[in-house]
């Protein structure tokens, strides 16, 4: 019995101290005021519990609603995450479909080729696009050589580069769940649809797409959720005009050293994320129940 | 065997070209003699030489490997314990909170995890350095390990453990002699996952690292912010090669053990 208690207590306490407690601290600091002190906010625990409760207020949250930088950053993060999720779906679906239709003996290799980039450093994969998209980069050299453009296109440091970066790095998250859904599908259903007079295209829209719906939904959430709080991609590929909330939080903390506002930004980002996360969980549960 | 239609061949070719071309370009240009990364000026390995003479990079690489080995080992132990508790632990007080804390870090934006851990470390007066990065990495990696291990534990035939207990093994012996060997592949891939996550992490490490300890991703990030550099291309090439060799050999080993398990199963059927 003692052993069981210890087995539960060790990971439990670890997560309480290093996961839950830090959040409560963020929440508390988001309600504090900035101060010229170390640490740079007030009140701190040293001021006593009474002062701690009476001095907390929602000032920082009010500040976030007043300064339209933050509004714009949240909205533009949502827009960038939505657009790139959609683009990832457009790129990922045909690949997953091709994999599911490939001969049986190729599939483990194809699967491995999709997973391999996932194990490679995220930072390096984002960085690899910098040399391709820059003004003197390979893409512009290629397009000029083909005679398609006369002047180099500015792609690096724009939102377009951010979309490319997100599609590229999160593509495996989209491909794998869709492939899993398509792989489970019975191909005789499509044949039946064609026998009953559907064209190939109609059978695809009316049979294949609805049957892979769960994979599409799961993949979209797996791309959308991390893309929303993304920091590395907008800061390496995006420009000064690219507003994303992960970057704003980073700058608020490291450049402006405003801890209370950075914490308030974090709290709101979490609140926004709760909705897609709950929806994702529900989709997964439904899928599990359907499988049983 | 049906042949692939031209549409599927095209989408697979284009798709994999998209996934791999950027990395191939990076590798090719790491052997470029020119400092200008977009102009090809002949084959050279001089950037690799420069890289190995760069003390700052070597120091950072050493810190990164140290952090990754220690944190992934702790994360594997804690994550396996957590998985065991979740799958076999039955009911206990605060179970919902526990499983919530296991799954939440998987979807948490890194900037928030990093910020909150930093505020904790400052709050309790812990100096930032190798220790704080290890604590941070252990915390988020253990959740990944526990997801990987618990998915294996769920599909595992519990009667094997019960048989060991009936035959007089203590719970610990039954775990060590029966459960652990069966879930070992999941535990190993959990360790590998934790190791790569730690090796790769920029955001959380930036928040939790102090001036005394810088990791390789932090160094790379501050270098590439200024633009593309041939030295970073060389470093990236080395990292890509290590991962490729690692993943391919790991998958060959697991394939071999799967084949062996199949053979054993067939042999067992024959003797039965």
Closest CA to A1 of B146, B89, B79: B89
Residues B102, B103, B106, B110, Cα dihedral to 10°:
-70
Contact present, B186 and B151 (Cβ < 8 Å): yes
Q: What is the mean pLDDT of residues A8-18?
A: 93
Unique residue bearing structure tokens 């957590």: B82
Domain membership flag for residue A217? yes
Range of the domain at A275: 67-291
Stretch B165-191: mean pLDDT: 88
By the 8 A CB rule, do B122 and A28 touch?
no
User: Is A183 within the bounds of a domain?
Assistant: yes
**Least confident interval from A29-43, A201-215, A247-261, B177-191:** A29-43
Q: Is the N-terminal amide bond of A43 cis, ω within 30° of 0? A: yes
Phi-psi region of B90 (alpha: psi -120 to 50; beta: other; left: phi over 0): left
CA distance B119 to chain A (A): 7
B120 has a pLDDT exceeding 70:
yes
- Give chain A positions within 8 Å (CB) of B171: 3
**Which residue of chain A has the CA closest to B36?**
A136
**B220 and chain A: CB distance < 8 Å anywhere?**
yes
Given a contact cutoff of 8 angstroms between Cβ atoms, the answer to whether A228 and A277 are in contact is no
Contact status of B70 with chain A (Cβ, < 8 Å): no
CB contact under 8 A, A97 and B119: no
Instruction: Report the candidate in A227, A150, A138 with the shortest Cα–Cα distance to residue B228.
Output: A138
Does any domain span residue B109?
yes
Q: Is A248 part of a structural domain of the chain?
A: yes
Give residue-wise pLDDT tens across range A210-255. Answer: 889 989 999 999 999 999 999 999 999 998 888 899 999 998 888 8
Name the more confident of B35 and B243: B243
Give the number of domains in chain A.
Answer: 1
B61 touches chain A (CB under 8 A): no
Global pTM reads 0.89
pLDDT of residue A45: 62
Q: With cut-offs at 50, 70 and 90, classify the pLDDT of residue B1.
A: very low
Given this model, what pLDDT does residue A49 score? 62
DSSP single-letter state for residue A46: G
Query: Residue A41's beta-bridge partner residues?
Result: A34
Tell whether the model's pLDDT for residue A288 goes beyond 80.
no
CA angle centred on A252, ends A268 and A234, rounded to 5°: 80
Set of chain A residues whose Cβ sits within 8 Å of the Cβ of B8? 94, 97-98, 101-102
| CATH code, B208 | 1.10.3720.10
Which of A58, A24, A29, A56 is CA-nearest to residue A259? A29
**With contacts defined as CB-CB under 8 Å, which chain A residues touch B104?**
19
| Contact residues, chain B, for A229 at CB < 8 Å | 109-112
Is residue A35 very low, low, confident or very high in pLDDT (cuts 50, 70, 90)?
low
Cα–Cα distances in angstroms (integers) from residue B116 to residues A25, B109, B221, B225, in the given order: 7, 11, 21, 25
> What's the number of domains chain B is made of?
1
Span B254-269, pLDDT tens digits: 777 778 877 887 887 7
pLDDT tens, A97-145? 999 988 888 888 899 999 998 888 899 999 999 989 988 888 988 888 8
Q: Is the ipTM here above 0.95? A: no
The answer to whether the CB of B82 falls within 8 A of the CB of B146 is: yes
CA distance A285 to B3: 36
Per-residue pLDDT at B146 exceeds 60: yes
Residue B218: inside a domain: yes
Residues of chain B neighbouring A87 (CB-CB closer than 8 A):
none
Do A18 and B9 lie within an 8 Å CB cutoff? no
Residue A39 preceded by cis peptide, ω within 30: yes
Are the C-beta atoms of residues B15 and A95 closer than 8 Å to each other?
yes
- Of A88 and A102, which is predicted with more confidence? A88
Residue B2 has pLDDT above 60, yes or no: no
Query: Residue B141: inside a domain, yes or no?
Result: yes
**Within-domain flag for B102:** yes
The yes-or-no verdict on residue A87 having pLDDT over 90 is yes
Cα–Cα distances in Å, from A260 out to A21, A26, A43, A277, B216? 17, 8, 11, 25, 30
> Measured between alpha carbons, how far is A32 from A53 in angstroms, rounded to an integer?
10
Is A119–B119 a contact, with Cβ atoms under 8 angstroms apart? no
Taking the CA atoms of residue A163, residue A165, residue A169 and residue A174 in that order, the dihedral angle to the nearest 10 degrees is: 10
Domain of A124, CATH number, reads 1.10.3720.10
> Is residue A247 within 8 Å of A181, Cβ to Cβ?
no
Cβ A131–B26 below 8 Å, yes or no?
yes
Taking contacts as CB-CB distances below 8 angstroms, the residues of chain B near A137 are: 38
Facing residues of A42 across strands? A33
pLDDT on residue B65: 94
What is the token pair recorded at A176?
């794998």
Q: What is the C-alpha separation between A71 and A75, in angstroms, rounded?
A: 6
Q: Which domain holds residue B144?
A: 56-227
């Amino acid at each position: 019995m003692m052993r069981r208690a210890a087995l539960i207590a060790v990971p439990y306490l670890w997560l309480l101290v290093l996961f839950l407690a830090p959040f409560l601290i963020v929440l508390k600091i988001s309600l504090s005021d900035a101060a010229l002190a170390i640490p740079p906010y007030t009140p701190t625990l040293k001021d006593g519990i009474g002062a701690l409760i009476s001095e907390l207020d929602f000032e920082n949250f009010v500040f976030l609603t007043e300064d339209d930088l933050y509004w714009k950053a949240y909205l533009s993060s949502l827009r960038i995450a939505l657009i790139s999720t959609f683009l990832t779906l457009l790129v990922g679906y045909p690949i997953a479909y091709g994999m599911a239709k490939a001969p049986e003996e190729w599939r483990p290799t194809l699967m491995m080729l999709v997973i391999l980039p996932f194990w490679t450093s995220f930072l390096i994969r984002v960085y690899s696009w910098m040399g391709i998209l820059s003004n003197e980069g390979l893409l512009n050299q290629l397009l000029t050589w083909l005679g398609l453009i006369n002047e180099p296109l500015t792609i690096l440091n724009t939102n377009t580069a951010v979309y490319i970066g997100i599609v590229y790095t999160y593509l495996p998250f989209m491909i794998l769940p869709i492939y899993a859904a398509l792989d489970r599908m019975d191909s005789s259903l499509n044949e039946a649809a064609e026998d009953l007079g559907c064209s190939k295209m109609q059978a695809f829209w009316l049979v294949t797409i609805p049957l892979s719906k769960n994979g599409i939904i799961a993949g979209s959430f797996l791309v959308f959720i991390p893309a929303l709080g993304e920091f590395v991609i907008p800061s390496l590929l995006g420009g000064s005009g690219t507003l994303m909330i992960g970057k704003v939080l980073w700058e608020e903390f490291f450049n402006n050293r405003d801890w209370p506002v950075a914490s308030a930004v974090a709290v709101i980002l979490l609140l926004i994320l709760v909705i897609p996360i709950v929806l994702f969980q529900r989709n997964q549960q439904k899928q599990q129940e359907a499988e049983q | 065997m049906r042949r692939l239609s031209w549409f599927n061949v095209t989408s697979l070719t284009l798709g994999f070209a998209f996934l791999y071309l950027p990395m191939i370009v990076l590798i090719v240009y790491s052997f470029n003699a020119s400092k200008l990364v977009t102009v090809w000026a002949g084959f050279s390995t001089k950037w690799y030489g420069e890289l190995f003479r760069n003390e700052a990079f070597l120091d950072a690489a050493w810190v990164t490997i140290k952090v990754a080995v220690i944190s992934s080992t702790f994360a594997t132990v804690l994550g396996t314990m957590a998985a065991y508790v979740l799958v076999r632990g039955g009911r206990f007080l605060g179970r919902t909170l526990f499983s919530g804390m296991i799954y939440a870090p998987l979807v948490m934006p890194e900037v928030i995890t990093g910020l909150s851990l930093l505020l904790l470390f400052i709050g309790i007066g812990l100096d930032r350095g190798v220790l704080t990065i290890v604590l941070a990495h252990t915390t988020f990696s253990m959740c990944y390990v526990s997801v990987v291990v618990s998915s294996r534990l769920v599909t595992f035939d519990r009667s094997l453990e019960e048989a060991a207990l009936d035959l007089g093994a203590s719970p610990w012996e039954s775990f060590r002699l029966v459960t652990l060997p069966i879930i070992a592949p999941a535990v190993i891939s959990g360790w590998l996952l934790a190791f790569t996550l730690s090796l790769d992490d920029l955001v959380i490490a930036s928040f939790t690292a102090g001036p005394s300890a810088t990791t390789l991703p932090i160094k790379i990030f501050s270098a590439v912010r200024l633009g593309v550099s041939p030295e970073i291309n060389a470093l990236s090439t080395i990292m890509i090669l290590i991962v490729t060799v690692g993943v391919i050999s790991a998958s060959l080993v697991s394939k071999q053990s799967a084949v062996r398990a199949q053979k054993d199963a067939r042999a067992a059927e024959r003797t039965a």
